[in-house]
A and B are shown apart, each in its own frame.
Chain A
Amino acid sequence: MIELHGLTKRYGDTLAVDELTFDITPGCVTGFLGPNGAGKTTTMRMILGLDAPTKGTALVNGKPYTEHKFPLHEVGALLDAKALHGGRQAFDHLLCLAQSNGIGRKRVKTVLDLVGLADVANKRAGTFSLGMGQRLGIAGALLGDPGILMFDEPVNGLDPEGIVWIRTLLRWLASEGRTVFVSSHLMTEMAMTADRLIVVGRGKLIADATVDDFVSRGEQWHEVRSARPTELAALLGRAGASVEERGESSRVRGLTATQIGDIALSGGIAIYGLTEQRASLEEVFFELTGDSVEYHGMLGMPARGAA
C-alpha cells in the first residue's frame, strides 16, 4: 500500500508535482499515466525518498520509505534500468543490493533465473542490451520479495517479446496480491496491463478510474456513408442529431443506428455504411491531457475535434 497525501514538488517556478493525493492498493496493477514531463518519475522518486517533497507525504506500508531499515523487503522499484555500475558483473550488482538488505546469495540466483539472466550472471552489466538491463533491474526489484512493486516506463525501448514478458510479469505479480504501480506515457499499453489508471498532467491529478470507466467515458458516434450526405445531414439534424461531414463519411451523434437507418430510408437516401464508433483510450487520454502536454511538437497534438 502506497499513500500519497498532498504530495508536491517545486523546482524553482515549476510545480513538477502538484498536490497529488491517492492510494495505490494491493492486488491490482495501477497504471500511472501522463505525457512526458507530467511528474510521474518525480512522484516515484519522492515515494522512494530519493527526492524530498516540497510539501505533503508519501507513505509506504504506513511509514516514509526512508524509515524502513531494509526497504527492499517492502518495495521493489525499477526507475531506470541504466542506474547501475556498468563495470560490475550482473551477479555482483544484485549481490551488493541483496547484502545491503540482509538477503542471501541463494536469492540472487533465484531472481536471476526468474528473469532469465542466469547464463549471463558473470557478464558485466554494461555490456547488456536495453532489454537485458531491464530484466536485471526487475531482478533487483524482486530480490526482497516485496509486497509493492514500482516500475517507471518498464516497456520503453523493449522489443515485442520483452513487452509481452513484462506485461505478463506485472499481471502475475498483481494476481499474487501485490501492489503493482507502473508508469507509462502510452495509454494503449496501460489499457492492456492495468486495472486502474491514474492520469496526471503538469503534475496535477487529472483522472483516477478503472480502465473500464475510461473506455465508457469515451464518446460514441456513428460513422455514416451515404449517397447524398448533405441531404441526409439535414434530415438527421431535424431529428436532433449533430452531424459532422468529413468527406466520404459523416459523424453522427445523438441517434442510434436504427434511428439513422430509418431516417435515411424515409428520405430515400441509400446508405453504404453505418458503423458504431467509440473514442479510443488514446483519444480519451489526449482529451484528458491535451491542455497539460508540456512540450508540443511543431505540428502540435492532433486536434481531436471529435473527442
Chain B
Amino acid sequence: MSAATSTLPSNTAVPTGSALRAALVSEWTKLRSVRSTVWALVLTSAFTIGLSALFCWAFVNRDERRRDGSLRNFFEFDPTARSLRGVVLAQLAIGVLGVLVMSSEYATGMIRTSLAAVPNRRTLLAAKTIVLTAVSLVVGMASAFVAFLLGQAILDGENLGTSLSEPSVLRAVLGAGLYLTLIPMFGLALGTIVRRTPGAIATLFGIVLILPLLADAFPEPWDVRIGRLSPLNAGQAFFSVRYDPDLLTPTQGLLVFLGWVVASFVVAIVMLTKRDA
C-alpha cells in the first residue's frame, strides 16, 4: 500500500515495433472486455439465424391454397432472400456495436485516456476499425451461412429450398455476411462523428430504416431512384437472388453501399483529427 516502500523497476526501454500493431492488440482487449460486445454479437447471430428460420417456417406453414394456388407467387419466391431476412434486424444490433466502439469512449471519458495512450488519432481509428471489422466478418459470415442453411432445411420440407450451387445464391449469402461486416463500420464512423451514443444510434437507425420510407415522399420515378440508394436497399440488391427492378444490380448495390461507408469515414477522420477530445 505504501508507495514509499515500493520501488519501480528502473526505466523500461521504450519498445520498438509498430504503433498500429500495439493499438490493434489494445483494441481487441477493449472489445472483448465489455459486456455490450458479447450482447451485440449474440443478438446479431440470434436475429440473423432465429428470425430467418422463423420466416421460413412461417412461409412453409402458410395456408396451402395461398402458397400453391398461384404460379406467379411461386416464381417470385426467393428462398435465399427469405432465409436471410433476419439481417434487417441483425444489422441494428451489430450496427450499434460499431457505434459503441467509439461513442462509449466519449460517454465514459475513456477517450481522453485512450488518446493519451495512442495520440495519433488515425492510428486509434484504424485499430478500432480493423478489430471491429474482423470480428463482424467472422460473426456476420457465420450467421449468414447458418441462417441460409437452416432456412433451406426448413423450406426443403416443402421442396421450396435452394442450394449454394444454384446461380447467384452463394453471392447473395456472402453479400449478407458482407453487409453485416460493413454496417458496423458505418456505425463506427457515425459514433465518431456524433460522439453521443443515443444520437449516433438514432442517426444509424434513421439512415438505415427511415431513409427508404422517406424516399416514398418523392414523385415517381424519383421515389424508386432515391429509395434504392439507401444503405439497406443497396444492400438488399446484393443479398437477394431474384432480380427486383426497383433495386440496383448487385454490383451497383455493393458500390453504393461502400460509398456510404467510405463517405462516413472521410467525415469521421476529419472530425476526429480536427476536434478537441
- A residues adjacent to B (C-beta < 8 A): 45, 48-52, 65-73, 75, 77, 79-80, 82-89, 92-93, 95-103, 107, 110, 113-116, 140, 142, 144-145, 147, 165, 168-169, 172, 176
CB atoms of B23 and A100 under 8 A apart: yes
- B residues adjacent to A (C-beta < 8 A): 1-4, 6, 8-12, 14-15, 17, 19, 22-23, 25-27, 29-30, 33-36, 104-105, 108-120, 276-277
CB atoms of B3 and A165 under 8 A apart: yes
CB atoms of B15 and A102 under 8 A apart: yes
- Known contacts A89-B33, A168-B4; is-contact A80 B112 (Cβ 8 Å): yes
Closest chain A residue, CB of each to CB of B113: A83
Complex-state Cα separation, A144 to B112, whole angstroms: 17
- Known contacts A87-B34, A99-B29; is-contact A50 B108 (Cβ 8 Å): no
Residues of the A chain whose Cβ atoms lie less than 8 Å from the Cβ of B26: 96-100
In angstroms, how far is the closest chain B Cβ from the Cβ of A240? Answer: 51
CB atoms of A83 and B11 under 8 A apart: no
CB atoms of A145 and B117 under 8 A apart: no
CB atoms of A97 and B113 under 8 A apart: yes
Residues of the A chain whose Cβ atoms lie less than 8 Å from the Cβ of B113: 83-84, 97, 140
Complex-state Cα separation, A5 to B84, whole angstroms: 60
Residues of the B chain whose Cβ atoms lie less than 8 Å from the Cβ of A45: 112, 276-277
Contact of B12 among A69, A85, A107, A165 (CB under 8 A): A107
Residues of the A chain whose Cβ atoms lie less than 8 Å from the Cβ of B19: 69-70
Contact of B11 among A80, A88, A147 (CB under 8 A): A147
10 closest pairs, A vs B, by CB? A102-B15, A100-B26, A83-B109, A92-B33, A66-B119, A169-B3, A99-B26, A51-B276, A96-B29, A50-B277
How would you classify the secondary structure of chain B's contact residues: helix, strand, loop or mixed? helix
In angstroms, how far is the closest chain B Cβ from the Cβ of A96? Answer: 4
CB atoms of A83 and B112 under 8 A apart: yes
Complex-state Cα separation, A87 to B197, whole angstroms: 15
Closest chain A residue, CB of each to CB of B30: A96
Chain B CB within 10 A, most for which of A66, A80, A83, A100: A100
CB atoms of B116 and A77 under 8 A apart: yes
Q: Can you list 15 A-B pairs, Cβ within 8 angstroms, ordered by A?
A: A45-B112, A50-B116, A51-B276, A68-B119, A72-B116, A79-B116, A84-B113, A93-B33, A96-B27, A102-B14, A107-B12, A114-B3, A140-B113, A168-B2, A168-B3
Residues of the A chain whose Cβ atoms lie less than 8 Å from the Cβ of B35: 87
Contact of A70 among B3, B15, B29, B109 (CB under 8 A): B15
Residues of the A chain whose Cβ atoms lie less than 8 Å from the Cβ of B108: 82-86
Residues of the B chain whose Cβ atoms lie less than 8 Å from the Cβ of A67: 119
- Known contacts A99-B25, A99-B29, A145-B8; is-contact A84 B119 (Cβ 8 Å): no
Closest chain B residue, CB of each to CB of A145: B12
Residues of the A chain whose Cβ atoms lie less than 8 Å from the Cβ of B29: 92, 95-96, 99
Complex-state Cα separation, A86 to B35, whole angstroms: 11
CB atoms of A102 and B22 under 8 A apart: yes
CB atoms of B110 and A87 under 8 A apart: no
Complex-state Cα separation, A168 to B109, whole angstroms: 28
Chain B CB within 10 A, most for which of A69, A82, A142: A69
